[in-house]
Amino acid sequence: MGPFAKIGRKFLVHLLDSYRIDHRRTLPPIRPEPLTHPKRKNKACQLPPWLALFFTFSLQATPLQVEVQAKQAILMRADNHKVLFSKKEHEKAFPASVTKIATALFAVSRSPIDQTITVTPEALTHKYLQEIHRYKLATDGTKMGIVVGETLLLQDLLYGLLLSSGNDAANAIAFGLAPSMEIFMEEFGRYLNSLGCQNTTLQNPHGLHHEEHLSSAYDLALIASEALKLDVLRKIVQTTSYIKPKSNKQKPFELIQSNLLIRKQSPYFDPRAIGMKTGYTSKAGYTLIAAAKVEDRELIAVLLGEPSSKARYLDAKRLFDAAFAEQKIEKRFFGPEHFFTRPSTILNHPIQASPALDLKVSFYPSEEPSYKASIHWQPLCLPIKMGDIIGTLQLVDTLNGPLIEVPLLAKESIELTWWEQIKLWWQTT
Protein backbone atom coordinates (compact mmCIF):
# COMPACT_ATOMS: atom_id res chain seq x y z
CA MET A 1 0.00 0.00 0.00
CA GLY A 2 1.46 3.38 -1.00
CA PRO A 3 1.78 6.35 1.36
CA PHE A 4 -1.05 8.30 -0.35
CA ALA A 5 -3.46 5.40 0.10
CA LYS A 6 -2.66 5.25 3.81
CA ILE A 7 -3.21 8.99 4.18
CA GLY A 8 -6.52 8.63 2.32
CA ARG A 9 -7.75 5.93 4.65
CA LYS A 10 -6.86 7.91 7.75
CA PHE A 11 -8.73 10.87 6.29
CA LEU A 12 -11.81 8.72 5.65
CA VAL A 13 -11.82 7.50 9.25
CA HIS A 14 -11.54 11.08 10.50
CA LEU A 15 -14.34 12.17 8.16
CA LEU A 16 -16.68 9.42 9.29
CA ASP A 17 -15.99 10.25 12.94
CA SER A 18 -16.73 13.92 12.35
CA TYR A 19 -20.17 13.08 10.90
CA ARG A 20 -21.01 10.89 13.91
CA ILE A 21 -22.30 7.93 11.95
CA ASP A 22 -24.95 6.03 13.86
CA HIS A 23 -22.97 3.08 15.34
CA ARG A 24 -26.14 1.25 16.36
CA ARG A 25 -27.08 0.51 12.80
CA THR A 26 -25.91 -3.01 11.99
CA LEU A 27 -25.19 -5.00 8.89
CA PRO A 28 -25.14 -8.79 8.66
CA PRO A 29 -22.33 -9.99 10.95
CA ILE A 30 -18.96 -10.96 9.57
CA ARG A 31 -18.49 -14.70 10.16
CA PRO A 32 -14.83 -15.53 9.59
CA GLU A 33 -14.12 -18.85 7.89
CA PRO A 34 -12.02 -21.43 9.76
CA LEU A 35 -8.30 -21.24 9.10
CA THR A 36 -8.08 -24.68 7.54
CA HIS A 37 -6.10 -23.93 4.37
CA PRO A 38 -2.42 -23.00 4.84
CA LYS A 39 -2.61 -20.26 2.20
CA ARG A 40 -5.92 -18.75 3.32
CA LYS A 41 -5.77 -16.08 5.99
CA ASN A 42 -8.92 -15.03 7.78
CA LYS A 43 -8.09 -11.40 8.32
CA ALA A 44 -10.83 -10.87 10.86
CA CYS A 45 -8.83 -13.07 13.22
CA GLN A 46 -5.31 -11.93 12.45
CA LEU A 47 -5.00 -9.52 15.37
CA PRO A 48 -2.12 -10.65 17.61
CA PRO A 49 -2.92 -12.10 21.04
CA TRP A 50 -2.57 -9.62 23.85
CA LEU A 51 -0.93 -10.43 27.19
CA ALA A 52 -1.83 -8.56 30.35
CA LEU A 53 0.24 -9.18 33.46
CA PHE A 54 -2.00 -7.94 36.18
CA PHE A 55 -0.90 -9.33 39.49
CA THR A 56 2.35 -10.55 40.97
CA PHE A 57 3.00 -11.20 44.64
CA SER A 58 5.20 -13.24 46.88
CA LEU A 59 3.78 -15.02 49.88
CA GLN A 60 6.20 -16.14 52.55
CA ALA A 61 6.15 -19.89 53.13
CA THR A 62 6.15 -20.89 56.79
CA PRO A 63 9.40 -22.81 57.41
CA LEU A 64 9.20 -25.88 59.61
CA GLN A 65 10.09 -25.14 63.21
CA VAL A 66 12.51 -27.92 64.09
CA GLU A 67 15.65 -28.01 66.22
CA VAL A 68 18.47 -30.12 64.79
CA GLN A 69 21.98 -30.80 66.09
CA ALA A 70 23.52 -30.82 62.62
CA LYS A 71 25.84 -27.93 61.74
CA GLN A 72 24.33 -27.73 58.25
CA ALA A 73 20.95 -29.15 57.23
CA ILE A 74 18.16 -28.98 54.71
CA LEU A 75 14.81 -30.59 54.01
CA MET A 76 13.91 -30.38 50.33
CA ARG A 77 11.04 -31.66 48.25
CA ALA A 78 12.48 -34.10 45.71
CA ASP A 79 10.31 -33.23 42.72
CA ASN A 80 10.46 -29.42 42.69
CA HIS A 81 13.35 -28.57 45.05
CA LYS A 82 11.22 -26.51 47.42
CA VAL A 83 13.05 -25.98 50.69
CA LEU A 84 10.92 -26.71 53.76
CA PHE A 85 13.69 -26.30 56.33
CA SER A 86 17.26 -25.04 56.17
CA LYS A 87 20.22 -24.36 58.41
CA LYS A 88 23.35 -22.95 56.77
CA GLU A 89 22.35 -24.94 53.70
CA HIS A 90 24.86 -23.22 51.37
CA GLU A 91 27.81 -23.40 53.74
CA LYS A 92 30.64 -25.64 52.56
CA ALA A 93 31.34 -28.70 54.70
CA PHE A 94 32.98 -32.11 54.55
CA PRO A 95 30.39 -34.59 53.25
CA ALA A 96 32.24 -37.84 54.07
CA SER A 97 30.68 -40.95 52.52
CA VAL A 98 27.44 -39.35 51.35
CA THR A 99 29.77 -38.40 48.48
CA LYS A 100 29.03 -41.89 47.16
CA ILE A 101 25.49 -40.91 46.13
CA ALA A 102 27.06 -38.43 43.71
CA THR A 103 29.55 -41.03 42.49
CA ALA A 104 26.79 -43.56 41.83
CA LEU A 105 24.69 -40.96 40.01
CA PHE A 106 27.58 -39.96 37.77
CA ALA A 107 28.53 -43.57 37.05
CA VAL A 108 24.99 -44.56 36.03
CA SER A 109 24.60 -41.41 33.93
CA ARG A 110 27.56 -42.37 31.75
CA SER A 111 27.68 -46.19 31.71
CA PRO A 112 25.25 -49.14 31.58
CA ILE A 113 25.00 -51.08 34.82
CA ASP A 114 25.95 -54.32 33.08
CA GLN A 115 29.35 -52.94 32.09
CA THR A 116 32.20 -55.11 33.39
CA ILE A 117 34.97 -53.56 35.44
CA THR A 118 38.23 -55.23 36.45
CA VAL A 119 39.73 -54.03 39.73
CA THR A 120 43.16 -52.45 39.20
CA PRO A 121 45.99 -52.25 41.74
CA GLU A 122 45.66 -48.43 41.73
CA ALA A 123 42.06 -48.72 42.93
CA LEU A 124 43.13 -50.58 46.08
CA THR A 125 46.27 -48.64 46.93
CA HIS A 126 46.38 -47.57 50.59
CA LYS A 127 48.00 -44.42 51.85
CA TYR A 128 50.54 -44.36 54.64
CA LEU A 129 49.30 -43.41 58.09
CA GLN A 130 50.19 -39.69 57.85
CA GLU A 131 50.13 -39.44 54.05
CA ILE A 132 47.84 -36.81 52.51
CA HIS A 133 46.37 -38.12 49.26
CA ARG A 134 43.29 -37.32 47.26
CA TYR A 135 41.98 -40.82 46.64
CA LYS A 136 44.15 -43.53 48.22
CA LEU A 137 42.29 -45.74 50.68
CA ALA A 138 42.58 -45.51 54.45
CA THR A 139 43.45 -48.72 56.26
CA ASP A 140 40.53 -48.26 58.67
CA GLY A 141 37.99 -47.13 56.04
CA THR A 142 34.86 -49.05 55.06
CA LYS A 143 35.26 -51.59 52.28
CA MET A 144 33.18 -53.75 49.99
CA GLY A 145 35.85 -56.45 49.97
CA ILE A 146 36.96 -56.68 46.34
CA VAL A 147 40.45 -57.82 45.26
CA VAL A 148 42.90 -56.90 42.51
CA GLY A 149 42.09 -58.58 39.21
CA GLU A 150 38.48 -59.29 40.13
CA THR A 151 35.96 -58.64 37.36
CA LEU A 152 32.51 -57.43 38.38
CA LEU A 153 29.49 -55.73 36.89
CA LEU A 154 29.08 -52.02 37.58
CA GLN A 155 25.76 -52.97 39.22
CA ASP A 156 27.53 -55.12 41.83
CA LEU A 157 30.01 -52.35 42.57
CA LEU A 158 27.12 -49.92 43.05
CA TYR A 159 25.63 -52.20 45.70
CA GLY A 160 29.00 -52.37 47.42
CA LEU A 161 29.31 -48.60 47.14
CA LEU A 162 25.89 -47.70 48.58
CA LEU A 163 25.16 -50.56 51.01
CA SER A 164 28.57 -51.33 52.51
CA SER A 165 29.92 -47.83 51.81
CA GLY A 166 32.87 -49.40 50.04
CA ASN A 167 35.71 -46.98 49.43
CA ASP A 168 37.34 -49.70 47.35
CA ALA A 169 34.19 -49.93 45.18
CA ALA A 170 34.30 -46.16 44.61
CA ASN A 171 37.89 -46.27 43.38
CA ALA A 172 37.20 -49.35 41.23
CA ILE A 173 34.32 -47.54 39.53
CA ALA A 174 36.44 -44.45 38.88
CA PHE A 175 39.38 -46.36 37.40
CA GLY A 176 37.01 -48.61 35.48
CA LEU A 177 35.12 -45.78 33.79
CA ALA A 178 38.00 -43.39 33.02
CA PRO A 179 41.67 -43.67 31.97
CA SER A 180 42.77 -42.11 35.26
CA MET A 181 41.40 -40.81 38.53
CA GLU A 182 42.24 -37.26 37.45
CA ILE A 183 40.16 -37.51 34.29
CA PHE A 184 37.30 -39.17 36.16
CA MET A 185 37.22 -36.38 38.77
CA GLU A 186 37.40 -33.62 36.12
CA GLU A 187 34.40 -35.05 34.28
CA PHE A 188 32.68 -35.72 37.61
CA GLY A 189 33.09 -32.07 38.63
CA ARG A 190 31.71 -30.77 35.34
CA TYR A 191 28.70 -33.08 35.69
CA LEU A 192 27.92 -31.82 39.19
CA ASN A 193 28.22 -28.22 38.02
CA SER A 194 25.65 -29.00 35.32
CA LEU A 195 23.21 -30.04 38.05
CA GLY A 196 23.50 -26.61 39.69
CA CYS A 197 25.95 -27.54 42.46
CA GLN A 198 27.71 -24.25 43.19
CA ASN A 199 29.48 -25.12 46.44
CA THR A 200 30.81 -28.58 45.62
CA THR A 201 34.49 -29.34 44.96
CA LEU A 202 34.94 -33.10 45.30
CA GLN A 203 38.46 -34.49 45.23
CA ASN A 204 37.74 -38.22 45.27
CA PRO A 205 34.83 -40.61 44.61
CA HIS A 206 34.46 -41.97 48.14
CA GLY A 207 34.55 -39.06 50.61
CA LEU A 208 37.66 -39.88 52.64
CA HIS A 209 38.96 -36.68 54.16
CA HIS A 210 40.70 -34.06 52.08
CA GLU A 211 40.74 -30.37 52.97
CA GLU A 212 39.35 -29.41 49.55
CA HIS A 213 36.73 -32.17 49.38
CA LEU A 214 33.67 -30.03 50.11
CA SER A 215 29.98 -29.72 49.40
CA SER A 216 26.88 -28.14 50.94
CA ALA A 217 23.59 -29.46 52.26
CA TYR A 218 21.76 -27.76 49.40
CA ASP A 219 24.00 -29.21 46.69
CA LEU A 220 23.78 -32.70 48.18
CA ALA A 221 19.97 -32.45 48.20
CA LEU A 222 20.04 -31.55 44.49
CA ILE A 223 22.25 -34.57 43.83
CA ALA A 224 19.97 -36.84 45.83
CA SER A 225 16.90 -35.62 43.95
CA GLU A 226 18.58 -36.53 40.66
CA ALA A 227 19.55 -39.95 42.00
CA LEU A 228 15.95 -40.69 42.97
CA LYS A 229 14.89 -40.16 39.35
CA LEU A 230 16.85 -43.28 38.36
CA ASP A 231 15.10 -46.57 39.08
CA VAL A 232 18.33 -48.50 39.53
CA LEU A 233 19.62 -46.15 42.24
CA ARG A 234 16.23 -45.86 43.90
CA LYS A 235 16.17 -49.65 44.15
CA ILE A 236 19.72 -49.96 45.51
CA VAL A 237 19.34 -47.36 48.29
CA GLN A 238 16.20 -49.15 49.52
CA THR A 239 17.88 -52.56 49.63
CA THR A 240 18.82 -53.86 53.09
CA SER A 241 21.05 -56.72 51.92
CA TYR A 242 22.49 -57.98 48.65
CA ILE A 243 24.34 -61.14 47.68
CA LYS A 244 27.35 -60.24 45.57
CA PRO A 245 27.58 -62.96 42.91
CA LYS A 246 30.51 -65.29 42.48
CA SER A 247 33.33 -63.73 40.46
CA ASN A 248 36.56 -64.91 38.88
CA LYS A 249 38.32 -64.29 42.20
CA GLN A 250 35.77 -64.78 44.99
CA LYS A 251 32.78 -66.75 46.15
CA PRO A 252 29.44 -65.01 46.72
CA PHE A 253 29.11 -62.95 49.90
CA GLU A 254 26.50 -60.69 51.49
CA LEU A 255 26.53 -56.90 51.58
CA ILE A 256 24.61 -55.24 54.47
CA GLN A 257 22.90 -51.84 54.36
CA SER A 258 24.52 -49.26 56.66
CA ASN A 259 21.48 -46.92 56.77
CA LEU A 260 19.55 -47.81 59.94
CA LEU A 261 16.44 -45.85 58.91
CA ILE A 262 15.43 -48.67 56.55
CA ARG A 263 16.49 -51.71 58.60
CA LYS A 264 13.43 -53.04 60.39
CA GLN A 265 15.40 -54.46 63.32
CA SER A 266 16.96 -51.04 63.98
CA PRO A 267 15.71 -48.74 66.78
CA TYR A 268 15.78 -45.93 64.20
CA PHE A 269 13.66 -47.70 61.59
CA ASP A 270 11.19 -45.38 59.86
CA PRO A 271 8.55 -46.95 57.58
CA ARG A 272 8.41 -43.72 55.57
CA ALA A 273 12.11 -43.90 54.71
CA ILE A 274 13.11 -44.97 51.21
CA GLY A 275 16.86 -45.02 51.75
CA MET A 276 19.94 -42.99 50.71
CA LYS A 277 23.35 -42.89 52.48
CA THR A 278 25.31 -42.44 55.71
CA GLY A 279 28.81 -41.05 56.20
CA TYR A 280 31.48 -40.42 58.80
CA THR A 281 35.02 -39.11 59.18
CA SER A 282 36.60 -37.55 62.25
CA LYS A 283 36.72 -34.16 60.51
CA ALA A 284 33.25 -34.30 58.91
CA GLY A 285 31.43 -35.80 61.87
CA TYR A 286 28.39 -37.95 61.15
CA THR A 287 26.52 -37.20 57.94
CA LEU A 288 23.32 -38.45 56.36
CA ILE A 289 21.23 -38.12 53.24
CA ALA A 290 17.78 -39.60 53.91
CA ALA A 291 14.68 -39.75 51.74
CA ALA A 292 11.12 -40.45 52.84
CA LYS A 293 7.77 -40.64 51.11
CA VAL A 294 4.13 -40.33 52.18
CA GLU A 295 1.56 -40.57 49.39
CA ASP A 296 2.85 -38.38 46.54
CA ARG A 297 5.11 -36.23 48.70
CA GLU A 298 8.78 -37.24 48.60
CA LEU A 299 11.27 -35.41 50.81
CA ILE A 300 15.06 -35.38 51.11
CA ALA A 301 16.86 -34.56 54.36
CA VAL A 302 20.59 -33.75 54.38
CA LEU A 303 22.37 -33.53 57.73
CA LEU A 304 26.06 -32.63 58.01
CA GLY A 305 28.34 -32.27 61.02
CA GLU A 306 26.23 -34.32 63.41
CA PRO A 307 27.79 -35.12 66.81
CA SER A 308 26.77 -38.79 66.76
CA SER A 309 25.20 -41.50 64.65
CA LYS A 310 22.13 -41.42 66.87
CA ALA A 311 21.74 -37.65 66.42
CA ARG A 312 21.63 -37.83 62.63
CA TYR A 313 18.83 -40.41 62.63
CA LEU A 314 16.80 -38.56 65.25
CA ASP A 315 17.21 -35.25 63.40
CA ALA A 316 16.03 -36.87 60.16
CA LYS A 317 12.97 -38.32 61.88
CA ARG A 318 12.16 -34.93 63.46
CA LEU A 319 12.25 -33.23 60.08
CA PHE A 320 10.08 -35.90 58.48
CA ASP A 321 7.63 -35.83 61.41
CA ALA A 322 7.19 -32.07 61.15
CA ALA A 323 6.75 -32.09 57.37
CA PHE A 324 4.36 -35.02 57.12
CA ALA A 325 2.22 -33.63 59.94
CA GLU A 326 1.35 -30.57 57.82
CA GLN A 327 -2.17 -30.27 56.43
CA LYS A 328 -2.77 -28.80 52.99
CA ILE A 329 -4.19 -25.29 52.69
CA GLU A 330 -6.42 -24.18 49.80
CA LYS A 331 -6.20 -20.64 48.46
CA ARG A 332 -8.81 -19.24 46.06
CA PHE A 333 -7.76 -16.29 43.92
CA PHE A 334 -10.54 -15.68 41.38
CA GLY A 335 -13.90 -17.10 40.41
CA PRO A 336 -16.79 -16.54 37.97
CA GLU A 337 -17.88 -13.45 39.91
CA HIS A 338 -14.71 -11.57 38.87
CA PHE A 339 -14.54 -9.57 35.65
CA PHE A 340 -11.58 -8.74 33.43
CA THR A 341 -11.52 -6.22 30.58
CA ARG A 342 -9.99 -6.68 27.17
CA PRO A 343 -9.41 -3.39 25.32
CA SER A 344 -10.27 -3.25 21.63
CA THR A 345 -9.21 -0.86 18.90
CA ILE A 346 -12.26 -1.85 16.86
CA LEU A 347 -15.13 -1.65 19.33
CA ASN A 348 -16.36 1.48 21.06
CA HIS A 349 -16.37 -0.32 24.40
CA PRO A 350 -14.10 -2.91 26.04
CA ILE A 351 -14.94 -6.62 26.16
CA GLN A 352 -15.63 -8.15 29.57
CA ALA A 353 -14.81 -11.73 30.51
CA SER A 354 -14.87 -13.85 33.65
CA PRO A 355 -13.22 -17.15 34.68
CA ALA A 356 -15.19 -20.27 33.82
CA LEU A 357 -13.99 -21.93 37.05
CA ASP A 358 -12.40 -21.02 40.34
CA LEU A 359 -8.70 -20.27 40.11
CA LYS A 360 -7.37 -21.96 43.24
CA VAL A 361 -4.41 -23.97 44.45
CA SER A 362 -3.64 -26.15 47.44
CA PHE A 363 -0.24 -26.44 49.13
CA TYR A 364 1.52 -27.30 52.37
CA PRO A 365 2.35 -24.26 54.54
CA SER A 366 6.11 -24.83 54.32
CA GLU A 367 5.90 -25.04 50.52
CA GLU A 368 3.75 -22.03 49.66
CA PRO A 369 5.03 -20.68 46.34
CA SER A 370 5.45 -17.15 45.02
CA TYR A 371 2.71 -16.47 42.50
CA LYS A 372 2.37 -14.56 39.27
CA ALA A 373 -0.98 -14.33 37.49
CA SER A 374 -1.51 -13.24 33.91
CA ILE A 375 -4.23 -13.01 31.26
CA HIS A 376 -3.55 -14.38 27.80
CA TRP A 377 -6.12 -12.98 25.35
CA GLN A 378 -6.84 -14.89 22.18
CA PRO A 379 -6.78 -13.15 18.77
CA LEU A 380 -9.99 -11.17 18.50
CA CYS A 381 -12.53 -12.86 16.20
CA LEU A 382 -15.80 -10.98 15.85
CA PRO A 383 -18.70 -11.31 16.36
CA ILE A 384 -18.59 -12.89 19.83
CA LYS A 385 -21.28 -14.93 21.55
CA MET A 386 -21.81 -14.87 25.30
CA GLY A 387 -19.83 -17.78 26.79
CA ASP A 388 -17.23 -17.89 24.02
CA ILE A 389 -13.68 -18.48 25.21
CA ILE A 390 -11.74 -15.31 24.48
CA GLY A 391 -8.68 -15.85 26.69
CA THR A 392 -7.15 -17.72 29.61
CA LEU A 393 -6.26 -16.79 33.16
CA GLN A 394 -3.04 -18.46 34.31
CA LEU A 395 -1.43 -18.80 37.72
CA VAL A 396 2.31 -19.49 37.73
CA ASP A 397 4.73 -20.53 40.45
CA THR A 398 7.63 -18.14 39.82
CA LEU A 399 10.16 -20.92 40.52
CA ASN A 400 8.50 -24.00 39.03
CA GLY A 401 6.23 -22.81 36.25
CA PRO A 402 2.47 -23.01 35.60
CA LEU A 403 0.18 -24.20 38.38
CA ILE A 404 -3.30 -23.86 36.90
CA GLU A 405 -5.06 -22.30 33.92
CA VAL A 406 -8.76 -21.56 33.44
CA PRO A 407 -10.61 -20.20 30.37
CA LEU A 408 -12.04 -16.68 30.29
CA LEU A 409 -15.59 -16.49 28.93
CA ALA A 410 -17.23 -13.51 27.23
CA LYS A 411 -19.92 -11.99 29.49
CA GLU A 412 -22.09 -10.80 26.61
CA SER A 413 -22.66 -11.27 22.91
CA ILE A 414 -21.12 -8.63 20.66
CA GLU A 415 -22.29 -7.92 17.10
CA LEU A 416 -20.35 -5.59 14.85
CA THR A 417 -21.98 -2.28 13.94
CA TRP A 418 -21.68 -0.91 10.42
CA TRP A 419 -18.96 1.49 11.52
CA GLU A 420 -17.06 -1.21 13.42
CA GLN A 421 -17.10 -3.44 10.35
CA ILE A 422 -15.48 -0.64 8.36
CA LYS A 423 -12.80 -0.21 11.02
CA LEU A 424 -12.20 -3.98 11.16
CA TRP A 425 -11.88 -4.15 7.37
CA TRP A 426 -9.55 -1.15 7.44
CA GLN A 427 -7.21 -2.60 10.09
CA THR A 428 -6.99 -6.08 8.62
CA THR A 429 -6.66 -5.25 4.92
Q: What is the pLDDT along the chain (429 residues), one digit of tens a residue?
A: 454 444 444 443 443 344 333 333 333 333 333 333 333 333 345 344 445 545 555 556 788 999 999 999 999 999 999 999 999 999 999 999 999 999 999 999 999 999 999 999 999 998 755 556 788 888 778 999 999 999 999 999 999 999 999 999 999 999 999 999 999 999 999 999 999 999 999 999 999 999 999 999 999 999 999 999 999 999 999 999 999 999 999 999 999 999 999 999 999 999 999 999 999 999 999 999 999 999 999 999 999 999 999 999 999 999 999 999 999 888 888 888 988 888 776 666 778 898 998 888 888 889 877 778 888 888 877 778 898 998 898 888 777 777 788 999 988 887 766 665 666 666 556
Task: Tell me the residue type at 94.
Answer: F
Annotated domain spans of the chain: 3-59+331-428, 93-276
Pairwise CA distance, residues 357 & 406, whole Å: 6
Tell me, what's the pLDDT at 6? Answer: 46
Write down the pTM of the prediction.
0.78
Burial class (CB in 10 A: 0-12, 13-18, 19+), 34: exposed
Q: Are 253 and 243 within 8 A, CB to CB? A: yes
Report which of 337, 199, 317 is spatially closest to residue 267, judged by C-alpha positions.
317
Eight-state DSSP code of residue 378: P
Q: Are 262 and 276 within 8 A, CB to CB? A: no
Residues assigned a catalytic role: 97, 100, 165
Q: Which CATH superfamily is domain 93-276 in?
A: DD-peptidase/beta-lactamase superfamily (3.40.710.10)
Tell me, what's the pLDDT at 145? Answer: 96
Tell me, what's the pLDDT at 342? Answer: 81
Tell me, what's the pLDDT at 37? Answer: 32
